[in-house]
């Protein structure tokens, strides 16, 4: 079989997971529907199909919504629900582990609804429980600034980590079946979260500090710690996370190689940050280029499938509700 057609077949057969995009808010700002193909953004449902993206974390970043975090989040969830009603033959939210099978059988895209920055909860675990009922299955504790749960990377000077609320939040997320996302969290908060959580956690979009010394990237000890917890690092397509001088697809693949060297092939995945700064690739239709690049670097088929999505599926199967 020709190499190119072989890669195409594997990419189509693999379950491709992207652990972070900002598409919901981006579409809302432009007044566009998710099913509307547009070159103004990087991701929409038609191009997700074209790029072979099967499972996507749709994040709602509430950081800029000062003093109205919860309203901002609810507004975005309402937008997604309306879009789901109008194009329900294309996409469906994942509420529990078994949903993946049914959504895949129907040929739909599986959506993991996520909150970026836990200030959307307004410091209340009761709000957390309601957002869970509305479909939220992943929450990032912070953005770069300090949140009610923890310090972000912009507060590294203080040496701060989790707050008392942050500890209770992780415990309740574990109980409910909501994934803990440590992207943006300060290093001290990162290590404290690993201690508190009884379930695997993720870093949905970040890269390797050893290759690119950016505050959002993880050092080797953090990568090892994340792997020891059974978690996954989703590599971001934000150019400044990839290389400070010459970001490229090959340099992104260097980050894959580095995680594999430090922790193993079971602990790395994709976290594009499409429509939120992840511009290393033009749009979602270029995802097969990653698959091609992995094969050219000598990764075996089972390893490529893990990197493309199976690693994140493993974590989701251990965290999300069973039904």
User: What pLDDT sits at residue 1?
Assistant: 45
pLDDT tens, the chain, 323 aa long? 466 888 999 999 999 999 999 999 999 999 999 999 999 999 999 999 999 999 999 999 999 887 799 999 999 999 999 998 888 689 999 999 999 989 989 999 999 999 999 999 999 999 999 999 999 999 999 999 999 999 999 998 889 999 999 999 999 999 999 999 999 999 999 999 999 999 999 999 999 999 999 999 999 999 999 999 999 999 999 999 999 999 999 999 999 999 999 999 999 999 999 999 999 999 999 999 999 999 999 999 999 999 999 999 999 999 999 97
By the 10 Å C-beta count (0-12 exposed, 13-18 middle, 19+ buried), 83 is classed as buried
The reported pLDDT for the residue numbered 3 is 62
pLDDT of residue 285: 97
Cα–Cα distance measured from residue 259 to residue 261, given in angstroms and rounded to the nearest whole number: 5
Q: How far apart are CA 49 and CA 258, in angstroms?
A: 30
Q: Which domains does the chain have, with CATH numbers?
A: 3-319 (3.20.20.140)
Give the E-state strand segments of the chain in sequence order.
17-21, 55-61, 91-93, 109-116, 136-140, 179-181, 202-206, 232-235, 268-270
pTM of the predicted model as reported, rounded to 2 decimal places: 0.96
What stretches of 35-145 adopt beta strand conformation (E)?
55-61, 91-93, 109-116, 136-140
How far is residue 14's CA from residue 9's CA, in Å, rounded to a whole number? 8
- Residue 212's pLDDT is what? 98
| 254 three-class SS | helix
* Alpha carbon distances (Å) from 11 to 26, 229, 301: 27, 28, 10
């Amino acid at each position: 079989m020709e190499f190119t057609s072989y890669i195409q077949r594997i990419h189509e057969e693999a379950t491709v997971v992207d652990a972070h995009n900002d598409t919901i808010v981006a579409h809302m700002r432009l007044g566009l529907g998710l099913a509307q193909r547009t070159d103004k953004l990087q991701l929409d449902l038609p191009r997700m199909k074209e790029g072979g993206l099967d499972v996507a974390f749709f994040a709602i970043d509430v950081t800029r919504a000062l003093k109205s975090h919860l309203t901002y989040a609810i507004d975005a969830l309402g937008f997604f629900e309306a879009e789901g009603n109008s194009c329900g033959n294309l996409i469906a939210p994942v509420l529990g582990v078994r949903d993946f099978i049914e959504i895949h059988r129907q040929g739909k895209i599986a959506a993991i609804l996520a909150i970026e920055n836990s200030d959307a909860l307004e410091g209340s675990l009761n709000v957390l429980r309601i957002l869970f009922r509305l479909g939220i299955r992943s929450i990032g504790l912070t953005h770069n600034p300090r949140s009610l749960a923890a310090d972000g990377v912009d507060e590294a000077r203080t040496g701060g980590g989790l707050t008392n609320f942050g500890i209770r939040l992780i415990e309740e997320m574990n109980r409910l079946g909501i994934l803990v996302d440590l992207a943006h969290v300060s290093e001290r908060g990162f290590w404290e979260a690993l201690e508190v959580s009884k379930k695997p956690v993720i870093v949905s979009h970040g890269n390797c500090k050893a290759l690119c010394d950016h505050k959002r990237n993880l050092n080797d000890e953090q990568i090892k710690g994340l792997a020891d917890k059974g978690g996954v690092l989703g590599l971001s397509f934000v150019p400044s996370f990839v290389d400070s001088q010459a970001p490229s697809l090959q340099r992104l693949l260097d980050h894959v190689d580095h995680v594999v060297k430090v922790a193993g092939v079971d602990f790395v995945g994709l976290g594009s940050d499409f429509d939120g700064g992840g511009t290393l690739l033009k749009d979602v239709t270029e995802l097969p280029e990653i698959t091609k690049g992995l094969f050219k670097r000598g990764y075996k088929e089972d390893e490529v499938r893990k990197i493309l999505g199976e690693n994140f599926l493993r974590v989701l199967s251990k965290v999300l509700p069973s039904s």
